[in-house]
Amino acid sequence: MTTLPSDLAYVPFVSVENMMALVHHLGVERMLCELADVIEEDFRRWELFDKTPRVASHSDVGVIELMPTSDGDKYGFKYVNGHPKNTKEGLQTVTAFGVLAEVDTGYPLLLTEMTLLTALRTAATSAMAARHLMPKDARTMAMIGNGAQAEFQCLAFKAICGVDTVRLYDIDPAATDKAARNLAGRGLSVVSCRSGEEAMEGAGIITTCTADKQYATILTDNMIGSGVHINAIGGDCPGKTELHRDILTRSDIFVEYPPQTRIEGEIQQLDPDHEVTELWQVITGQVPGRTGDRQITLFDSVGFAIEDFSALKYVHQKVRDTGHYVMLDMIADPDDPRDLFGMLARSQ
Amino acid sequence: MTTLPSDLAYVPFVSVENMMALVHHLGVERMLCELADVIEEDFRRWELFDKTPRVASHSDVGVIELMPTSDGDKYGFKYVNGHPKNTKEGLQTVTAFGVLAEVDTGYPLLLTEMTLLTALRTAATSAMAARHLMPKDARTMAMIGNGAQAEFQCLAFKAICGVDTVRLYDIDPAATDKAARNLAGRGLSVVSCRSGEEAMEGAGIITTCTADKQYATILTDNMIGSGVHINAIGGDCPGKTELHRDILTRSDIFVEYPPQTRIEGEIQQLDPDHEVTELWQVITGQVPGRTGDRQITLFDSVGFAIEDFSALKYVHQKVRDTGHYVMLDMIADPDDPRDLFGMLARSQ
């Protein structure tokens, strides 16, 4: 009788190093485009997913969340933290990993880093939403908040929405310098700005992505002209918002999953019955997205489990094709499934 | 600038192979005893834990669950499936893995297999509860259901409660043979029985641990004499129970976390306001456990996240002492935390 684990005992694992290799192998813009497409496909199937607001464990300094969902065939979840104070300690604000599993057996199919993958899927989701909501002729995006997510947003809007100019602003000029440096030579016209107002000049798309809880009004009402699309990423937990309330009441608001967005998004500032549109209904054509040139559209994005599910499925397929994984001995799988103790005893 | 991940990017991982090595290094009975002690310690601190019923995703053939909890210092969660039909396909009914993390940073501290660890912590919890509830002079245990959990239960009751005789019964005699074989030479008198009634003879402790949903009444009322302690493990999801309702109404019932047990445990058969006692209150001395020789005590155990948390903390400490782990490159940790894209770009 063998004591070696069977093939079923092994789970493919994608390390940070392998994820980076996969991104380079595919090309970051191609990967953003393909992620946008698989996420949009799953938004079209929205109704058949098991949906639940994420399961959050809050502390004074941050939050740890589990984000599960299932389409009945596969199950996925992401572990993700949010600790704004981490940056000052040399740590990431957000780190993540995730698992894809087979519903029929409950066995994991994939374990993967998701810090990078979350940055990619967040940018892909933003741009996917924008292609349904933005003014058609917009080619300039204001990028407010130049932290870890900024370059991914800029490249996703270039690749997916045809943006050719990004106007960067951050309260810390060093962050803007970092983003400008990283975006150099990637086919975008990059303008570093000294104020939010300056960044907004000529921008048909405004993306806000700031991390710190203490700067709670990144955009004020007078900064926002008519006809723009606002892509609000940073307001993503209770007590953390980026937009002044008056902007919200002037906008048509689109969200991922209302029960979660009402707790975590910009709309936590509004009445619980304030009208919002679910993005999946725009994508399936059930309700209109942008209806006029002067309309302000606002994607109040907090990130939803289905986006991670799509990304997990995508990576699962891509790493099988490219070999960017190792096998982990993570599941005890004795020859006789009832003989777990025997497997243990024989391993001595 | 380096593109290598920092130490923070690595998470200690305990594979199935390393978990087996750790068990052998410590000795299975010692590990069961120490687990019982750390679980009991955390039951004493019950009130300070973040508690939530597990987050379950049900399908026709099984369930996938996430079980998170936190004591404010550490955070832990377990991924676990339950698929009774898996056994027939040569797969485990229950597989699991888990993560321990630092609340202050949100960074994972440990990723570990938990199929074996769950078997160990379940047995340790059962015996820990029994040492507060069982008749003092009980030395014989009936073990009904001789699947993957059976040997762990028998050894935990030997090591922790002083049981010297186990009477095995399973509807499948091959399972009983397997358990008897595995328990041979481990200091227990092992009796293989042909019926549940036969297994019950002289037993002061009765443990039920069956997996299949279709055998819903493992114990009937006439089988249970006065004064025994019943350790009911197998009734652990909606629609799955093992004991006849009449046994429940004759027993004093002790549970882990009532909001979860009312959904998943034996007491799902009873009114939602049927009186039960929380085990932690017995352990802290707030309410009495066993009060008389003729009393039937019933531990209606479904498994709770705090038990996994205790086990994760224990393994985290033990593998650091013994080296039974490898480091996984699971967390993207760039030198400048805002420069995730730069880390990616420089890795090419």
Which of these ranges, A159-173, B114-128, B209-223, has the smallest mean pLDDT?
B209-223
Identity of the residue numbered A82? G
Contacts of B64 in chain A (CB under 8 A): 68, 70, 75, 101, 103, 106
CA–CA separation, A289 and A299 (whole Å): 11
- Answer whether residue B232 shows pLDDT above 50: yes
Among the partner-chain residues A95, A119, A343, the one whose CB lies closest to the CB of B107 is A95
Q: Do A79 and B108 touch (CB under 8 A)?
A: yes
Percent of chain A with pLDDT over 90: 77
- The confidence score (pLDDT) of residue A195 equals 94
- The confidence score (pLDDT) of residue A5 equals 47
- The confidence score (pLDDT) of residue A6 equals 56
What contacts B40, CB < 8 A, 6 or more positions away?
A: B128, B283
- Highest mean pLDDT among A302-311, A330-339, B216-225 belongs to A302-311
Look at A309 and A347; give whichever has higher pLDDT: A309
Contact assessment for residue B251 and residue B270, using Cβ atoms and an 8 Å cutoff: no
Q: Do B66 and A77 touch (CB under 8 A)?
A: yes
- Answer whether residue B267 shows pLDDT above 50: yes
Count of pairs with CB atoms under 8 A, one residue in A, one in B: 251
Segment A99-103 shows an average pLDDT of: 97
- The confidence score (pLDDT) of residue B61 equals 92
| Tokens at B43, concatenated | 């039951």
Contact assessment for residue A133 and residue A282, using Cβ atoms and an 8 Å cutoff: yes
- Answer whether residue A190 shows pLDDT above 80: yes
Burial of B222 (0-12, 13-18, 19+ CB in 10 A): exposed
Segment B8-37 shows an average pLDDT of: 95
Which of these ranges, A131-135, A289-293, B84-88, B101-105, has the smallest mean pLDDT?
B84-88
What secondary structure letter does DSSP report for B234?
Answer: S
- The confidence score (pLDDT) of residue A2 equals 39
pLDDT digits (tens, 9 = 90+) for B155-203: 999 999 999 999 999 999 999 999 999 999 999 999 999 999 999 999 9
pLDDT digits (tens, 9 = 90+) for A267-293: 998 999 999 999 999 999 999 999 999
Given the residues B236, B246, B300, B333, the one annotated as active site: B236
pLDDT digits (tens, 9 = 90+) for B107-161: 999 999 999 999 999 999 999 999 999 999 999 999 999 999 999 999 999 999 9
- Answer whether residue B236 shows pLDDT above 90: no
- Answer whether residue B215 shows pLDDT above 70: no
The CATH class that applies to domain B129-304 reads alpha beta
- Answer whether residue A98 shows pLDDT above 70: yes
CA–CA separation, A282 and A284 (whole Å): 6
Which of these ranges, A25-29, A215-219, B134-138, B158-162, has the smallest mean pLDDT?
A215-219
Q: By CA distance, what is A8's nearest residue in B?
A: B91
Query: Cα dist. A148→A123, A179, A213, B248, B288 in Å?
Result: 11, 9, 16, 56, 55
Q: By CA distance, what is A82's nearest residue in B?
A: B106
Identity of the residue numbered A13? F
Which of these ranges, A71-75, A331-335, B224-228, B254-258, has the smallest mean pLDDT?
A331-335
Quote the ipTM score: 0.91
Q: Do B340 and A119 touch (CB under 8 A)?
A: yes
Q: A68: helix, coil or strand? A: strand
pLDDT-derived band at A3, boundaries 50, 70, 90: very low
Segment A9-25 shows an average pLDDT of: 94
Measured in whole angstroms, the distance separating CA A170 from the mean position of its chain's CA atoms is: 20
CA A236, A239, A241, A246 torsion: positive or negative?
positive
Q: By CA distance, what is A4's nearest residue in B?
A: B17
What contacts B116, CB < 8 A, 6 or more positions away?
A: A332, A340, A344, B16, B19, B20, B23
Q: Do B105 and A345 touch (CB under 8 A)?
A: no
* Beta carbons within 10 angstroms of residue B201's beta carbon: 11
Chain B: give the shortest CA distance to residue A213, in Å.
16
Q: Domain B7-116+306-340 classified CATH 3.30.1780.10?
A: yes
What contacts A348, CB < 8 A, 6 or more positions away?
A: B24
What secondary structure letter does DSSP report for A336?
Answer: S
Among the partner-chain residues A28, A70, A348, the one whose CB lies closest to the CB of B57 is A70
Greatest alpha-carbon pair distance for chain B in Å reads 75
A130-304 belongs to which homologous superfamily? NAD(P)-binding Rossmann-like Domain (3.40.50.720)
Chain B: give the shortest CA distance to residue A204, in Å.
25
Chain A: give the shortest CA distance to residue B292, in Å.
36
Let me know if the fold of A7-116+306-341 is the same as that of A130-304. Answer: no
Query: Cα dist. A144→A166, A183, A208, B113 in Å?
Result: 10, 15, 5, 42
What contacts A103, CB < 8 A, 6 or more positions away?
A: A70, A72, A73, A74, A75, B57, B59, B61, B62, B64
Q: Do B57 and A66 touch (CB under 8 A)?
A: no
Contacts of B87 in chain A (CB under 8 A): 337-338
- Answer whether residue A254 shows pLDDT above 50: yes
Mean pLDDT of chain B: 92
CA-based Rg of chain A, rounded to a whole angstrom? 21
Nearest to A181 by CA among B342, B338, B3: B342
Q: Do B332 and A113 touch (CB under 8 A)?
A: yes
Contact assessment for residue B126 and residue B163, using Cβ atoms and an 8 Å cutoff: no
Catalytic center residues of A:
236
Q: Do B95 and A64 touch (CB under 8 A)?
A: no
CATH number of A7-116+306-341: 3.30.1780.10
Contact assessment for residue B110 and residue B133, using Cβ atoms and an 8 Å cutoff: no
Contacts of B312 in chain A (CB under 8 A): none
Q: Do B79 and A9 touch (CB under 8 A)?
A: no
Q: Chain B interface, mutation test: which of A7, A52, A64, A74, most B Cβ atoms within 10 Å?
A: A64
Q: What are the residue boundaries of the structural domains of chain A, listed by start? A: 7-116+306-341, 130-304
Kind and range of the H or E run holding A130 = helix A115-133
Q: What angle do CA B112, B21, A343 make, to 5 degrees?
A: 90
CA A232, A234, A239, A244 torsion: positive or negative?
negative
- Answer whether residue A4 shows pLDDT above 60: no
Segment B65-88 shows an average pLDDT of: 94
Segment B324-340 shows an average pLDDT of: 89
